[in-house]
Amino acid sequence: MDEKINVTYITLDGFVEIDKYRYVYFYIMFIVYILIICCNSTILYLICIHQNLHEPMYIFIAALLLNCALYSTAVYPKYLIDFLSEKQVISYSACLFQYFLFYSLACSEFFLLAAMAYDRYVAICKPLQYPTIMRKKTVSIFLFIAWLVPAFHITIPAIGSAKAKLCSFYLNETFCNNRIYTLQCLRSEFFAAFGLVCLLDLGILPLLFILYTYTKIFLMSYRSCKEIRKKAAETCLPHLSVLISFSCLGCYDVVIARVESDFPKTARLIMTLQLALYHPLFNPFVYGLKMKEIFKHLKRLFSPPPKI
């Protein structure tokens, strides 16, 4: 019976002094989760109800914010349960599902940022062809690829890991991330190679495409008038700030899963929480404040009604 429990359940051992700060953790994470849902949902709502925001750029922003809300939901409810539980455990099958849901949505962010980069490239470098190129069908294809390709890539190692033999049942993390593979007794060479393919397809190639398109945009802007440079800065800088933030967090997540080292537990907890805490709030903040149309509607939404 004990052996069956060990095989089935994983202990999440990445929390720091959870017994001492249990309720502090719970209230902070609960408030942050509510903020994430409210902030992302507010901008999503504005984009949905205002016809002038039904443009490719804002549709991609809406998809990005929807991703943030969904992958936060893949992590936060389990966090809140763990903070109020005596033992922080999760079944191995649920752990794999959390891993699949979180990473398929997180990786799709690179594809959405790549689609946004291409949209800005066409708008700035080929403005006369923009209505012809960025049609509803094109936007739908980009969204389909952004969500389907990462899901397909993550599904294969997740299914392969479902029947893997485990030699460890303690995961030194707060949720099921890439380090889930360290629990396996023997990792398949095929899945190790496939992991490199995933890194190339889901991270490096979209990143190179984004850098290429933004290089073209900045070269075009440099040669153009001041108004074009201002337009490029207003629309591209928010995307670049989100890209840099997410790329740094993604690099940490990839490296920490492959480097076997005695990384301080507190530092590991802080860095791991960045993926689920800081980034989902960073996106709506950047797009809500930097995008003129969204910011205008936000001000109107929260402004008091005029006095009669």
Residue 21 lies in a domain: yes
User: For a pLDDT cut of 70, what percent of the chain falls above it?
Assistant: 86
Under the banding of pLDDT at 50, 70 and 90, the label for residue 160 is: confident
Residue 308 lies in a domain: no
Which residue would you say has higher pLDDT here, 266 or 150? 150
* Closest C-alpha to 150, from 102, 92, 191, 98: 102
Residue 56 lies in a domain: yes
Q: Is the pLDDT of residue 308 over 70?
A: no
Q: Is the pLDDT of residue 35 over 80?
A: yes
Most confident segment among 13-27, 60-74, 275-289: 60-74
What does each C-alpha distance from 115 to 74, 101, 202 come to in angstroms? 24, 21, 13
Give how many domains the chain has, as a whole number: 1
Residue 307 lies in a domain: no
Residue 142, pLDDT score: 92
Q: Which structural domain range is residue 96 located in?
A: 2-302
pTM of the model: 0.85
Residue 67 lies in a domain: yes
CATH number at residue 24: 1.20.1070.10
| Average confidence (pLDDT) over 162-167 | 80
| Average confidence (pLDDT) over 206-215 | 88
Residue 143, pLDDT score: 93
Q: What is the average pLDDT value for the chain, to the nearest integer?
A: 80
